[in-house]
Chains A and B, each alone.
Chain A
């Protein structure tokens, strides 16, 4: 079991409030991703759950028990660090076994568990190597092995893939997700990369400036962003925001349209006219940056290879029903 509940958790360093009251319920077995820009407090929140920082207020419950005063080792959680934090002078076996050794398990049992964890992660041939003799991806797997071998109530991941190259990151993303589903252990994963968040999470927590902006499944966040911040943060390329008369006409202060919900039309009908500034041809998609006069610069995502280049005049038409409206506090207006 690994249900984690936060009740009004606060953290301040001196006069600086990092976490301004977080309420969250993470069900057992869920993969929850904390995402947000740098300095939003996502890592601090994770460290509070881990027990590496003390809360300034509120309660953290693991399976219904308040663990605020429980030391990290006794919380039954394990953590994968951004720098991997492997013990450099210990072999892979020593690294994975360390937690069990500290727990005072008999040698035979430790060996058996280490072998099992290594087999799960394809680390068996490397068990007697030192961390410095491993590649980045292998080190990452050792760090994960160290986490799973203790059979924790939950895994905590602190931007574990940010030191890997792009191709390896995609591969590890899949591996981590698969492993978590296979083990069925609750996982909390911190990242600043919204693609990682969207692809891995059962539920996403969007954090900004120490506040939880929205908590929901990836598709919920994509389809029903609660406010301007979430709307702008989730989705790539970023949502277009339009203010002024065009928004007022629809009864909102700001309206937002995702690049993929704008079509380039040439049927002579109604639409926003503009001039292409830059066209990025990716093969499968084409991103157009269009100067739409009073509306500002709009990003448009067209599927396939559009034969459009800089300077071409285009007419843009937003998909009806895919226009998000926000009031003057930045909150979404749901019709």
Chain B
């Protein structure tokens, strides 16, 4: 089928979609690059002027930048730890034959289908609210003082919310991997005298190395850009305690109306994402090689 004719035909038929996607990608990117070199304030329309790299200098030297970079990395790292640390035991449990297994699986996966804004609101108002939240009620019925999550431990609260959303994803990937573990290998290990713990350490964990890598890479992509949860719950505060890079860019553009600096921030975020990706692929990517 790979004649010259079919290749030409394939290219001709593919090109509209590829061209459209390319324009879709390149126009915003080019505009962002362009805006990042302008003095462009929405409060002062018509005053756009070329300022070179001044926006970058302003964004990178802003004390909020380092704080938000740190928050971003802490958020990504903690959520990864939580989702994988809890995802493995959860996947192991779901792999057991129990009655109503399909329904249980569906329920475990459900949080993934809830919109980030909705789940953040549920957590904020129904669970973590210091007066009317479920956690507060539990704390008071045990005679303890309720924690005011979004004041006392705002970043931790955001981490919990995001981890809750991503735990199903990790569990699902790890569960499918567990199901592909060869039954005869488990039996061979059993014949070799390996107990459940040894089988977990010597068979299951190495078998899960690859899916864990997939979870880390995919989650990192999305966790670097967490926004809705922060916007809905803390608004980046108190102070800068829950401001990550994505939220900082938003606040530059739409709170301070500085499009130029926001564009520069967006490009910095792209660079940071690439740096993170580079290290991730170096550290865990070799697990993906066959």
Query: Interface residues, chain A, CB within 8 Å of chain B?
Result: 50, 52, 71-74, 77-79, 81-83, 85-90, 98-99, 102-103, 146, 150
Contact = CB atoms under 8 A, between A and B. Distances in A.
Interface in B185-212: 185, 187-194, 198, 202-203, 206-207, 209
Nearest to A132: B290
B187 A83 contact: no
Contact of A52 (B187, B194, B203, B206): B187
15 contacts: A52-B190, A71-B190, A72-B190, A73-B190, A73-B193, A74-B193, A79-B188, A81-B187, A87-B188, A87-B189, A88-B207, A98-B189, A99-B192, A102-B192, A102-B198
B184 interface: yes
A90 B193 CA distance: 17
Nearest to B186: A85
Contact of B192 (A52, A88, A89, A146): A146
A73 B191 contact: yes
B182 interface: yes
Contact of A103 (B187, B193, B206): B193
A239 B238 CA distance: 89
A98 B190 contact: no
A297 to B, nearest CB: 41
A103 B198 CA distance: 11
Contacts of B191: 50, 52, 72-73, 77-79, 99
A82 B184 contact: yes
A87 B198 CA distance: 13
A98 to B, nearest CB: 5
A90 B198 CA distance: 14
Contacts of A78: 191-192
A158 to B, nearest CB: 9
Contacts of A52: 187, 190-191
A82 B184 CA distance: 9
B276 to A, nearest CB: 27
A49 to B, nearest CB: 11
B202 A87 contact: yes
B181 to A, nearest CB: 10
Nearest to A79: B191
A85 B203 CA distance: 11
A33 to B, nearest CB: 20
Which 5 A-B pairs give the minimum distances between C-beta atoms? A73-B193, A99-B192, A85-B184, A89-B206, A85-B188
B156 to A, nearest CB: 36
B286 to A, nearest CB: 13
A55 to B, nearest CB: 17
Given A88-B207, A103-B193, 10 more contacts: A72-B187, A72-B190, A73-B190, A79-B188, A81-B188, A83-B184, A87-B202, A87-B203, A88-B185, A146-B192
A200 B52 CA distance: 84
B68 to A, nearest CB: 40
B187 A98 contact: no
Contact of B193 (A81, A88, A102): A102
Contacts of A81: 184, 187-188
A207 to B, nearest CB: 21
Given A98-B202, A102-B198, A87 B185 contact: yes
B182 A85 contact: yes
A304 B110 CA distance: 73
Contacts of B192: 73, 78, 98-99, 102, 146, 150
Contacts of A73: 190-194
Contacts of B185: 85-88
Contacts of A85: 182, 184-185, 187-188
A96 B185 CA distance: 13
A78 B189 CA distance: 10
B202 A83 contact: no
A83 B182 contact: yes
Nearest to A150: B192
Interface in B172-190: 182, 184-185, 187-190
A79 B203 CA distance: 18
Contacts of B207: 88-89
Contacts of A79: 187-188, 191
Nearest to A147: B191
Contacts of A98: 189, 192, 194, 202
Nearest to B203: A87
Given A85-B182, A87-B202, A89-B206, A102 B194 contact: yes
A83 B193 CA distance: 19
